[in-house]
């Protein structure tokens, strides 16, 4: 049963309702290890499903282009004030539709087309929007890219500094999608200052850890901070840009009217709800448990002979290099999905294979921690992953279905926010 209920949807449109129910059951039964995913609270779901979606409100609180903003204005103000309090920033814009548009707004605020931007290379762990070639950000700007050291799997700050001195980027990105280690915001800030670049910290993956005090904050180091709201922060699909008073106007103008029209007010309300949740003491416990679980899972995987990029993790994310395990990332991820363990295939640094069939697997503990799993369950999950990867190498499907049953049994003991099986 979906919670909040979807009874009207069921009556009116059973085709859609059946698929929503089926997806909810899938989320309930699986060990969800996709590093960018989570389970939001029923309160966040209710805000997302509210009549606020009916309202247009181009502009900002107190300066709108449409009438009837008596209740939208205080909602957006709540979201902004909570973002400022949770992250300790001077200014927050909560209107970007998602992480990629938020990052485009950062370019719009600080750069002209053709300017040089420096970001982490996508196959090394960066994001498309940090200047990768197929992205608008790599086509409309001049990208230069840093990576990790081959021997440590960690960001090579000497390379970052040398590249920045040589290429003189106007904007430097730190943060990414597959970085299992703490980001040294102070070191990036020093490099940016030396070359006169704007430093943008993209904390999409780690925002919840920062909010909960389980990862250092970029505040005071980065000129501008972008984040999604739906990953470790456990809010609706959306994004925010945070900055200082100095850059507030440029950022706001870039989001609207630079790139967007009306903000998604139902999302804004849900962001406000999620930020109130993130300010509670139990969210700090959650954030620390996410990291404790990732550490325990990494240790259990390493014990089983898995090769982890950088040797382990400091945050919610683990990157496995499957080279030498007899099966590449894609078939391994497919076998794991069939066995009830959901993750994604991923490139690893210096991957000799193609991005659509790379050598690695990426895992994260944000979602399973929301379900209530703790360190004690991690060796079991590592054992299943080991068993399934071996079965995939031998193309033994019977093992996969047995593991799926065991996974279902485990997860039935941990309630899911937003859905429960019919009693
Ligand atoms: C997820 C992510 C984004 C993009 O977010 P979308 O909402 O998918 O557009 C941007 N940057 C980083 C580092 C991310 O992890």
Q: Does some domain include residue 105?
A: yes
Mean per-residue pLDDT, 199-220: 98
Angle at 87 between CA 294 and CA 346, to 5 degrees: 35
**Burial degree of 360 (CB within 10 A; 0-12, 13-18, 19+):** buried
The pick from 105, 127, 215, 233 for probing ligand 1's pocket by mutation, whose C-beta has the most ligand atoms within 8 angstroms, reads 127
Clarify whether residues 324 and 242 are in a common domain. Answer: no
pLDDT at residue 353 is higher than 90: yes
58 is catalytic: yes
Q: How many folded domains does the chain comprise?
A: 2
Confirm or reject: Cβ of 228 under 6 Å from ligand 1: yes
Q: What is the mean pLDDT of the chain?
A: 97
Output the CA 421–ligand 1 centroid distance in Å.
32
User: Residue 250 falls within a domain, yes or no?
Assistant: yes
Q: Are residues 90 and 147 located together in one domain of the fold?
A: yes
268 and 345 assigned to the same domain: no
User: Are 231 and 34 in contact, with CB atoms under 8 Å apart?
Assistant: no
CATH code where residue 133 lies? 3.40.640.10
pLDDT in tens, 290-323: 999 999 999 999 999 999 999 999 999 999 999 9
Does 416 map to a domain?
no
Domain range spanning residue 310? 291-411
- CB neighbour list of residue 346: distance below 8 Å, 6 or more residues apart: 178, 319, 329, 358, 360, 361, 362
Say whether both 85 and 58 belong to one domain.
yes
Tell me, yes or no, whether 249 and 136 share the same domain. Answer: yes
Q: Kindly state if the Cβ of 98 falls inside 6 Å of ligand 1.
A: yes
pLDDT surpassing 90 at residue 45: yes
Q: Is the pLDDT of residue 423 over 90?
A: no
Give the end of a domain, one of 278, 306, 338.
Answer: 278
Residues sharing a CB contact under 8 Å with residue 44, sequence separation 6 or more, in sequence order: 234, 235, 236, 270, 273, 274, 277
Is the pLDDT reported for residue 271 higher than 90? yes
Please list the helix, strand and coil fractions of the chain in percent, rounded to the nearest 5, in that order: 50, 15, 40
Same domain, 340 and 269: no
316 in a domain, yes or no? yes
Is a pLDDT exceeding 90 seen at residue 61? yes
Annotated active-site residue in 202, 223, 321, 342: 202
Tokens of 235: 């809010």
Q: Please, which pLDDT band fits residue 169 given cuts at 50, 70 and 90?
A: very high
Is residue 355 predicted with pLDDT exceeding 90?
no
Any atom of ligand 1 within 6 Å of the Cβ of 177: yes
* pLDDT recorded at residue 146: 97
- From 3, 10, 55, 56, active-site residue: 56
Are 223 and 259 found together in one domain? Answer: yes
100 C-beta closer than 6 A to ligand 1: yes
């Amino acid at each position: 049963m979906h919670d909040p209920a979807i009874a009207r949807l069921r009556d009116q449109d059973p085709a859609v309702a059946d698929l929503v129910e089926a997806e909810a059951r899938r989320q309930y039964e699986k060990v969800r290890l996709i590093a960018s995913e989570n389970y939001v609270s029923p309160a966040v779901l209710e805000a997302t499903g509210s009549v606020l979606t009916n309202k247009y409100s181009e502009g900002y609180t107190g300066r709108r282009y449409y009438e009837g903003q008596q209740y939208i204005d205080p909602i957006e103000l709540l979201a902004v004030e909570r973002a400022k309090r949770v992250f300790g920033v001077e200014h927050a814009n909560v209107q970007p539709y998602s992480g990629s548009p938020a990052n485009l707004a950062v370019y719009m605020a600080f750069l002209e087309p053709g300017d040089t931007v420096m970001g982490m290379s996508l196959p090394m762990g960066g994001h498309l929007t940090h200047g990768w070639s197929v992205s608008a950000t790599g086509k409309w700007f001049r990208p230069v890219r840093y990576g990790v050291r081959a021997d440590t799997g960690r960001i090579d700050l000497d390379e970052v500094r040398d590249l920045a001195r040589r290429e003189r980027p106007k904007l430097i990105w730190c943060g990414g999608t597959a970085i299992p280690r703490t980001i040294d915001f102070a070191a990036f800030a020093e490099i940016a200052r030396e070359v006169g670049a704007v430093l943008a910290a993209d904390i999409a993956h780690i925002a919840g850890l920062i909010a909960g005090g389980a990862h250092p904050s970029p505040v005071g180091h980065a000129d501008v901070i972008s984040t999604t709201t739906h990953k470790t922060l456990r809010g609706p699909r959306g994004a925010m840009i945070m900055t200082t008073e100095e850059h507030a106007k440029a950022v706001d103008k870039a989001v609207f009217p630079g790139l967007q029209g009306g903000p998604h007010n139902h999302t804004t309300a849900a962001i406000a709800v999620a930020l109130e949740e993130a300010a509670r003491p139990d969210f700090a416990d959650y954030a620390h448990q996410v990291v404790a679980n990732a550490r325990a899972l990494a240790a259990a995987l390493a014990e089983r002979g898995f090769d982890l990029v950088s040797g382990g993790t400091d945050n919610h994310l683990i990157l496995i290099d499957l080279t030498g395990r007899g099966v590449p990332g894609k078939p391994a991820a497919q076998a794991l999905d069939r066995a009830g363990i959901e993750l994604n295939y991923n490139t690893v640094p210096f991957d000799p294979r193609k991005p659509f069939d790379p050598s690695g697997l990426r895992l994260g503990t944000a979602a399973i921690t929301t379900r209530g799993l703790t360190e004690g369950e991690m060796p079991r999950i590592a054992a299943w992953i080991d068993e399934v990867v071996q079965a995939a190498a031998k193309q033994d499907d019977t093992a996969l279905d047995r593991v799926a049953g065991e996974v279902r049994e485990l997860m039935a003991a941990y309630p899911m926010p937003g859905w429960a099986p019919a009693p």
